[in-house]
Amino acid sequence: MFTNLQDKLDRAFKVLKGQGSITEINVAETMKEIRKALLDADVNYKTAKTFTDDVKQKALGQNVLTSISPGQLLTKIMSDELSDLMGGTVSELETQKNPTIILIAGLNGAGKTTFSGKLANFLKDKKGKKPLLVAGDVYRPAAIDQLQILGEQVGVPVYVNRESTDPIAIAREGVEAAKRDGNNIVIIDTAGRLAIDEALMLEITAVKEATQPHEILFVVDSMTGQDAVNTAKAFNDRLDFTGVVLTKLDGDTRGGAALSIKSVVNKPIKFIGTGEKMEALDVFYPERMASRILG
């Protein structure tokens, strides 16, 4: 994970690690290198600049220059700052409402349907919940089939209405079905598009209005770099989502988007997808991610 960024940061840190003493010039130069590494890894400019400025301020404030191991201290400051940038603490998913309604949004191929299955599996197995999946992608029959297969695989029922082409009605029916059948979680998978378009936004906004979800999770492919940040911003402007799911973090991803998304949209990253299997889902721990980035 974050291999590119990590390699570059490692190189930048070499200047500092193990050095007995460093100068303010060393700090400034290292920060410049780190900013470059972040920009190369698709972190947007503002995030990278704020990050390095903050770290520099803290480094100078905490007497890094006169400390016994300046490299280690600076690494700690950076790790804390990175963790803060990504939310600081674990952001829990709301699951206590009965039923808790969770709307899944994002572009085509981001991993929405896969994540819907994974989340149902996670809530059933790890939280003892009784979820219902709702197949809201009416444009692609294959998407409905896919969700049904995943539902079967994880032992969670799927609400399907193949007669209807109205995603708003289907979402509503799904919530009603959950109430009737005693499901305490409703996960509504929605249609994506190849790119942001007005029809998509109107539709997903209407589904939101109709179902009043407690959580709206925006699913984004972590391999899409800076585009991931732009898409997150566009969806958040319209949907005011409650959390982000970063998928495909098992691949050769560029980690920059993960850092930027939180700071650009100011919404927590709640889960990460680490593979195609139904078990390949992790809660997002900012500290773990920070130490992973820094190595």
Query: Based on CB atoms, which residue is closest to ligand GDP, 59 or 147?
Result: 147
Which of 71, 87, 99, 111 lies at the binding interface for ligand GDP (CB under 6 A)?
111
Query: Based on CB atoms, which residue is closest to ligand GDP, 22 or 102?
Result: 102
Residue 113 interacts with ligand GDP (CB under 6 A): yes or no:
yes
Give residue 229's region: left, alpha or beta (phi > 0; psi -120 to 50). alpha
Q: According to CB under 6 A, which residues from 260 to 279 bind ligand GDP?
A: 273-276
Query: Based on CB atoms, which residue is closest to ligand GDP, 91 or 274?
Result: 274
Q: According to CB under 6 A, which residues from 140 to 159 bind ligand GDP?
A: none
Query: Based on CB atoms, which residue is closest to ligand GDP, 1 or 280?
Result: 280
**Per CB under 6 A, which region of 39-47, 60-68, 167-175, 242-250 contacts ligand GDP?**
242-250
Non-local CB neighbours of 50 within 8 Å, separated by 6+ positions: 263
DSSP 8-state secondary structure symbol assigned to residue 88? S
Burial (CB < 10 A; 0-12, 13-18, 19+), residue 141, is exposed
Terminal-residue alpha carbon distance, the chain: 10
Query: Based on CB atoms, which residue is closest to ligand GDP, 110 or 216?
Result: 110
| Angstrom distance (rounded) from CA 106 to CA 209 | 17
Q: According to CB under 6 A, which residues from 221 to 240 bind ligand GDP?
A: none
Residue 108 interacts with ligand GDP (CB under 6 A): yes or no:
yes
Q: According to CB under 6 A, which residues from 154 to 193 bind ligand GDP?
A: 192
Q: Is 172 annotated as a binding residue?
A: no
- C-beta nearest to ligand GDP: residue: 273
Please report which helix (H) or strand (E) contains residue 185, including its range: strand 185-190
**Per CB under 6 A, which region of 72-80, 105-113, 173-181, 259-267 contacts ligand GDP?**
105-113
SS3 247: strand
Q: Contacts for 32-40 with beta carbons within 8 Å, 24 or more apart?
A: 33/8, 34/9, 34/78, 36/8, 37/5, 37/8, 37/9, 37/11, 37/12, 38/5, 38/256, 38/259, 40/4, 40/5, 40/8
Residues 272, 282 contacting (CB under 8 angstroms): yes
Nearest-approach distance from CB 284 to ligand GDP, in angstroms? 13
Residue 248 interacts with ligand GDP (CB under 6 A): yes or no:
yes
Residue 112 interacts with ligand GDP (CB under 6 A): yes or no:
yes
C-alpha dihedral sign at 193, 198, 199, 205:
positive
Which residues sit in the known binding site for GTP? Answer: 106-113, 189-193, 247-250
Give me the residues that bind ligand GDP (CB under 6 A), please. 106, 108-114, 192, 247-248, 250-251, 273-276, 280
